Amino acid sequence: MANKRVKDLPNANTLADADELIIDSSSAGTRRISYSELKTEVAGDYVAAPSTYKVAPLNSSNKIDATYLPTTGDTAKGSWNASTNTPTLANGTGAAGDYYDVTTAGVSLGISFSVGDVVKYDGANWFKIDSVANIFDGISTVDQVKTLAQVPDIGLQANMVPLCGMLNSGAWVDWDSHFSQGTWVPTVSFGGASSGTYNIQEGGYQKTGQLVHVWCQVNNTTKHASNTGSVTVDGLPYTAAGSNVPYVGSAALHNAASLSGQTVTLIAGGTNSAMIFDSGVNGTSAVTDVNYNSSTIIRISITYKIA
């Protein structure tokens, strides 16, 4: 056959075999193959032996099939029948990084294996790669993985990370030290002594940083007759900062007796009790048991710095 340019060769009517693309006339004739024919041939060879092409196929989730991504340093030993014995017995002593594809399901090493599982040797034991914990060089518990990966626990104890997120500074912040809110149970004492039955005991607080705002209402209906002296509301959720610093807030006494002016509450530094005072025209004096009866309701609201 006379020499022809490739573009002038006739198209093939059937798929080409391994050595059928011939562009000279020395043997078997001369022809050309189409682009679609070439793609079909290459695809067929790839499906038959994908490892030859060094390309990882996609799995059912349209992600790279991890089977074709061996770990650096690992040595593939082939397939393993999990229903017979351990890989060590079946294939000799393994080296760290050896792994096998499970081709026959079974129970071995105290583990139930399925077809498609991978069993790996870490230098001491065989284990199934089926979780993040096992991928970390044979580590078998989540706590060991967290230690290796330096992943802290969530919480407020030492070496824990609180659920607070990152601020602009990039530092972790204990959110509870900056904001919290809740309830507390107020009690009433007279001259430092507390007794009786309560009809109302309601209290709440909101803390932001080192400032806390508290409020409450309380009614001691049957105080003991021997309880005399200045009235205080006790049990505040936080101790006030300082020693000689007074924090003043509002106080309202409903059904109190012999009060001459506006009532206020005062918290002394280093305490968690609110003292009640009568600010009258003749000066300020402490509210005492004389001003209090079974129907008196104390309501206070005050903001102070905590210790």
Cα torsion angle, 100, 104, 109, 110, sign: positive
From 105, 124, 148, the end of a domain falls on 148
Same domain for 32 and 136, yes or no, is: no
Query: Does residue 109 sit within a domain?
Result: yes
Query: Does residue 154 sit within a domain?
Result: no
- In whole angstroms, give the CA distance from residue 87 to residue 82: 8
pLDDT of res. 184: 96
Q: Indicate the pLDDT class of residue 243, thresholds 50, 70 and 90.
A: confident
Query: Does residue 173 sit within a domain?
Result: no
Q: What mean pLDDT do residues 150-173 have?
A: 61
- In whole angstroms, give the CA distance from residue 15 to residue 7: 18
Instruction: State the total domains in the chain.
Output: 3
Same domain for 198 and 299, yes or no, is: yes
- In whole angstroms, give the CA distance from residue 80 to residue 100: 6
What is the average pLDDT value for the chain, to the nearest integer?
74
Same domain for 49 and 82, yes or no, is: no
Query: Does residue 171 sit within a domain?
Result: no
Query: Does residue 102 sit within a domain?
Result: yes
- In whole angstroms, give the CA distance from residue 82 to residue 70: 21
pLDDT in tens, 1-48: 455 565 665 565 555 455 455 544 455 555 566 667 767 777 777 667
Same domain for 231 and 279, yes or no, is: yes
Cα torsion angle, 201, 206, 211, 215, sign: negative
> Among 105-109, 274-278, 300-304, where is mean pLDDT lowest?
105-109
For the CA atoms of 126, 131, 136, 138, the dihedral, rounded to the nearest 10 degrees, stands at -20
Cβ proximity of 1 and 25 under 8 Å: yes
pLDDT of res. 104: 81
Query: Does residue 58 sit within a domain?
Result: no
Q: Which of 83, 85, 72, 75 is nearest to 120 (CA)?
A: 75
Q: Is the pTM of this model over 0.75?
A: no
Same domain for 119 and 233, yes or no, is: no
From 148, 169, 193, the end of a domain falls on 148
Q: Which domain holds residue 44?
A: 6-53
Q: Indicate the pLDDT class of residue 173, thresholds 50, 70 and 90.
A: low
Same domain for 42 and 142, yes or no, is: no
Cβ proximity of 130 and 120 under 8 Å: no
Same domain for 128 and 238, yes or no, is: no
Q: Which of 100, 94, 92 is nearest to 122 (CA)?
A: 94
Same domain for 144 and 189, yes or no, is: no
Q: Indicate the pLDDT class of residue 185, thresholds 50, 70 and 90.
A: very high
pLDDT in tens, 101-153: 777 888 776 777 777 777 776 666 666 765 443 444 455 566 665 665 666 67
Query: Does residue 167 sit within a domain?
Result: no
Q: State in Å, rounded, how far the first CA of the chain is from the last one.
A: 104
Beta-bridge partners for 200: 219
pLDDT of res. 83: 74
pLDDT of res. 10: 59
Pairing mode, if any, of strands 283-286 and 106-108?
Answer: unpaired
pLDDT in tens, 246-275: 899 999 999 998 888 899 999 999 999 999
pLDDT in tens, 37-48: 767 777 777 667
Query: Does residue 111 sit within a domain?
Result: yes
- The SS3 assignment for 291 reads helix
Same domain for 76 and 46, yes or no, is: no
The one-letter code for the residue type at 267 is I
Same domain for 228 and 275, yes or no, is: yes
Same domain for 282 and 196, yes or no, is: yes
Cβ proximity of 221 and 199 under 8 Å: yes
pLDDT at 67 over 60: no
Q: Which pair of tokens denotes residue 63?
A: 């992600």
Cβ proximity of 253 and 263 under 8 Å: yes
Cβ proximity of 119 and 125 under 8 Å: no
Same domain for 103 and 200, yes or no, is: no
